[in-house]
Amino acid sequence: MDDAGTENIGTLVVLGATGDLTSRLLLPGLGRLLTEQPRRRIRLIGADLAPLETRQWTATVREAFASAEAAGPAVDHALDHTDYLVTDASSARDLGRVLAAATGIPALYFALPPAVTAEAVGALHQVDLPTGTVLALEKPFGTDRDSAAALNRRLTSLVDEDQVFRVDHFLGKSTVLNILGLRFTNYLFEPLLNRDHVAKVEIVYDEQLGLENRAGYYDRAGAMVDMIQSHLLQVMALITMDAPQSVRAADLRTAKAEALRAVRPFAGDPVSASRRARYTAGTVGGRPLPAYVEEPGVDAGRGTETLAEITLESTTWRWSGVPFVLRSGKALGEARREIAITFRPVPQLPAGLDGRLEPTVLRICLGPDAMVLELNVNGPGDPFVLDRGRLEAQFGAGRLNPYGEVLHGILERDPSLSIRAEGAEHAWEVVDRFREAWRSGSVPLEEYPAGSAGPPTWRS
Ligand code: BG6
């Protein structure tokens, strides 16, 4: 037991241990966490189909920890207490064997594609789960609303909802969490964040990265599921939700789920409120990229988008009528990762003031982490001519990286930063409306050269 009287996780089991996610994100996140918390003691079990030996797995863990500059007694303990078990995650017998090798309360982290996760959850029904077992599921959670609802039912017939962690690493980003601090601990912005004062909100995550050999996963997800369903809708919920009583799991997750329940396509029309596109060959940051459809493993016939933009509305008294533009894409010329809140123009410019009147914009930048307030000011030259001023604050890197933060929640059994069952279903409901319209062919799949700003017709 820790000071708060909660029991910590004794063993972290990673199902899908040989996958890219594990070595690139999970293990480095764990390394950072163990470095920050040198007194933590965990046993780590890697489980996957590949016939690895514990020696090889330990070398992978060591390398990933080194990449995160992880060191100290908790790191050494984890390295000394790690094993690899060849495991078919859909086999109840194999899962039983993995659980028998765990000490203390286990957390099973499903770093697996949604279909395999669903099979593994099914198989767990034939296994005796130790009391308190935590189930952590990587995104995407299901493949649409119905499959997410079915998975939720299967999960909650195994363990309590508070033992289920639907992972979104964006909720572990310190600047995303800072939305709560910014909104609910300052009197300055919160009274203005509503339909009377805000003209539009953009939540944008444009990346320069291309497919990065992830066709097996990405070609079935596309930008809409990979980013908008899994991450950006959660960010929107943090912007639109009402002030929770506390930031503890129950209150925070209720406020977010309520906020998501109110989200609809703008003006109720998923066709006019969405655009999609796919990149052709080009150069990004000096690096040549082949067309998306030429990447190994891509099936051009699937028509997967690498850039998605949807406009949403929160049908609440506070936000009704304000467009929320959510957009994310790969292989774009510039990495624009921010939440931009554009305020309404002032009703009238006092006579005698000249210059271009632009709206006030509050930008919460997600890498490099910063906050910028763009304002109209009187210029340094002629005091009656408007100029643009910027108030800017840079934020340091968070204590942990996002996966470190996610794992901290799991090991502490604190689900504040994970998505609750109905929250996941509401997010799918929104996205399914657009995907249905896309499947019917009503929204054309446009093209943009890798390294550009998107399809030329999108520039507005
Ligand atoms: C992941 C997506 O969840 O988030 C990736 O699968 C994306 O496609 C990534 O690149 C972006 O997040 P971050 O934190 O790596 O910038």
**231 CA: nearest ligand 1 atom:** 3
Q: Is the CB of 405 under 6 A from ligand 1?
A: no
* Ligand 1 centroid – CA 209 distance (Å): 9
- Model confidence band, residue 1 (pLDDT cutoffs 50, 70, 90): very low
CA distance 72 to 137: 28
Residue 304: pLDDT band by 50, 70, 90 thresholds? very high
Nearest to 326, CA basis, from 268, 388, 269, 263? 263
372-396: average pLDDT: 90
Cβ proximity of 198 and 321 under 8 Å: no
Q: Which residue puts its alpha carbon closest to atom 5 of ligand 1? A: 226
Q: Which of 207, 224, 332 has most ligand 1 atoms within 8 Å of its beta carbon, as the pocket-test mutant?
A: 207
Q: How far apart are the first and last CA of the chain?
A: 56
Q: Is 77 one of the catalytic residues?
A: no
Q: Which amino acid is at 234?
A: Q
pLDDT at 363 over 50: yes
List, in order of start, the domains of the chain with CATH numbers.
11-138 (3.40.50.720), 173-398+407-449 (3.30.360.10)
pLDDT value at 201 more than 50: yes
Query: pLDDT tens-digit profile of 244-295?
Result: 999 999 999 999 999 999 999 999 999 999 999 999 999 999 999 999 999 9
In this prediction, residue 398 carries a pLDDT of 76
- Backbone CA torsion sign across 447, 453, 459, 460: positive
49 CA from centroid of ligand 1 (Å): 25
Q: Check residue 380 and give its pLDDT.
A: 79
Q: Of 81, 125, 169, 231, which residue is the catalytic one?
A: 231
Quick: pLDDT tens for 393-432: 998 777 789 999 999 999 999 999 999 999 999 999 999 9
Cβ of 206 less than 6 Å from ligand 1: no
How far away, in angstroms, is 401 Cα from ligand 1 center?
A: 13
pLDDT at 387 over 60: yes
Mean pLDDT of the chain: 94
Atom of ligand 1 nearest to the CA of 337: 16
Dihedral sign from CA coordinates of 180, 182, 325, 265? positive
Mean pLDDT calculated for residue range 221-234: 96
Q: What's the pLDDT band for 349 if we cut at 50, 70, 90? A: confident
pLDDT band at 460 (very low <50, low <70, confident <90, very high): low
* Choice from 167, 169, 171 to test ligand 1 binding pocket (greatest atom count within 8 A of CB): 169
Ligand 1 atom nearest to 402, measured from its CA? 14
Model pLDDT, residue 7: 60
Measured from the Cα of 217, ligand 1's closest atom is 6
- Residue 362 predicted with pLDDT over 50: yes
β-strands 198-206, 337-343: how paired? antiparallel
Cβ 331 vs Cβ 281: under 8 Å = no
Ligand 1: distance of its center to the CA of 170 in Å?
9
Residue 209 CB less than 6 A away from ligand 1: yes
For range 308-332, the mean pLDDT: 98
Mean pLDDT value across residues 335-360:
92
Q: Which of 44-48, 167-171, 180-184, 368-372 has the highest mean pLDDT?
A: 44-48
Atom of ligand 1 nearest to the CA of 139: 3
Are 190 and 311 in contact by the 8 Å Cβ rule? The answer is no
Burial of 191 (0-12, 13-18, 19+ CB in 10 A): exposed
Long-range contacts of 230-233 (CB under 8 A, 24+ apart): 230/139, 230/140, 230/141, 230/168, 230/170, 231/139, 231/168, 231/169, 231/170, 231/205, 232/170, 232/203, 232/205, 232/326, 232/328, 233/260, 233/263, 233/326, 233/427, 233/430, 233/431
- Is pLDDT at 2 greater than 50 in this prediction? no
Please check the confidence at residue 6 and state whether its pLDDT lies above 70.
Answer: no
* H or E stretch at 277: strand 274-280
Q: What residue's CA is closest to ligand 1, atom 13?
A: 170
Q: Return the residue whose CA atom lies nearest to atom 14 of ligand 1.
A: 170
Looking at residue 383, what is its pLDDT?
A: 84
The answer, yes or no, to whether any atom of ligand 1 lies below 6 A from the CB of 207, is yes
The gap from C-alpha 19 to its chain's centroid, in whole angstroms, comes to 19
- Does 172 score more than 70 pLDDT? yes
Q: Which two tokens stand for residue 451?
A: 């390294």
Ligand 1 near 226 CB (within 6 A): yes
